[in-house]
Amino acid sequence: MQFGMIGSGSWATALSKILTDNGNTINWWVRSVDTIAYMEKRRHNPHYLSSAYFNPSQIYLSNRIEEVVEKSDVLIIAVPSAFVEDVLAPLSPEALKDKKIISAIKGILPSANQLLNEYLYNQFQVALNNYFAVLGPCHAEEVAAEKLSYLTLSGIDETAAGVIATHFKTEYLNTVVNHDVMGVQYASVLKNIYALGAGIAHGLEYGDNFLSVYIANSSHEMTDFLKKVVWDNESEEEQKSINYSASAYLGDLLVTCYSLYSRNRTFGNMIGKGYSVKSAQLELNMIAEGYNASKCIHKTNEIIKAHLPVATVIYEILWEHLPAAAGFKTIEKLLL
């Protein structure tokens, strides 16, 4: 099984480390030729997770995405959701035929308000049984430090997902497999919104007691949304088998809300302290997926009609100029 990595940010770098530490070789698409030259010479990514070193014999670097796709059986797409369409634009409609695709994206493509699998089906006819999602809870920084972490590999073909998962299992990383590929993707989108809100709360100087109630309510909202958006397509037996307290749902929500590594929490903390959205984006200098996701989920929920009062207030703070303090006074009254 030959892997191709599309992206060179912290999550792409962490996943590349996991795969190569497990003995795999990878074809790695990196946009910048200067970054490629540096990595070939110094054996690490100069911009992200610089403590993670790579064996040159295990990585083939290229800035030509067509070449990386052609050489690979399994493609991992690990670029920010807002950039996916531009990155894949050079590919022909047949380029992904018979390829297995793993989404390492924790967002919705904002231009079309689609999950990655929906976009890939429309543009490249990628069938859902060849599509998988890799989720946390798993911060890239802890992977670089080789602290024990967990990945969930989700796909409607659980047998194929299990085979792929074996390539990610290392001494410092355990893997979990499930079939809820749509649900885990939406969960990863929602947890970023709630983590951004947790950061706003911290910036407004709310304490741990409030935050615990906030996260409990966020988890309840997330479950309500997932049931409405996913269960219409699941049998009753499959519905009962989904555990929303599992690591890919509640676990990822918890770590993203609490961890100092969370860029969404950091972004929200700036908003809570009075930064404008634009100023927070410039200061962070990385993509906080929760920002665009809040608008995408708001649009989606106009159809789904799940009960999302907390997510709605966060959307209003970010996109409708509701003052953060006033928004959280509203949230105070919503929490149970």
Average pLDDT estimate for 19-36: 96
Architecture per CATH, domain 182-334, reads as: Orthogonal Bundle (1.10)
Whether the per-residue pLDDT at 231 is higher than 70: the answer is: no
pLDDT band at 237; cut points 50, 70, 90 = low
**What whole-number distance in Å separates Cα of residue 4 and Cα of residue 149?**
22
Average pLDDT estimate for 272-281: 94
Average pLDDT estimate for 270-294: 91
Cα 174 vs. chain centroid, distance in angstroms? 18
**What whole-number distance in Å separates Cα of residue 233 and Cα of residue 258?**
32
pLDDT band at 205; cut points 50, 70, 90 = very high
**What letter would DSSP give residue 250?**
I
H/E element holding 218?
Answer: helix 208-230
CB-count burial class (<10 Å; 0-12, 13-18, 19+) for 60:
middle
Question: In the CATH hierarchy, which fold is given to the domain comprising 3-179?
Answer: Rossmann fold (3.40.50)
Average pLDDT estimate for 218-237: 81
Per-residue pLDDT, 305: 93
**What whole-number distance in Å separates Cα of residue 156 and Cα of residue 275?**
42
Q: Start-end ranges of CATH 1.10.1040.10 in the chain?
A: 182-334
Average pLDDT estimate for 24-36: 96
pTM of the predicted model as reported, rounded to 2 decimal places: 0.93
Whether the per-residue pLDDT at 233 is higher than 70: the answer is: no
Q: Start-end ranges of CATH 3.40.50.720 in the chain?
A: 3-179
Per-residue pLDDT, 136: 87
pLDDT band at 236; cut points 50, 70, 90 = low
CB atoms under 10 Å from CB of 14, counted, come to: 25
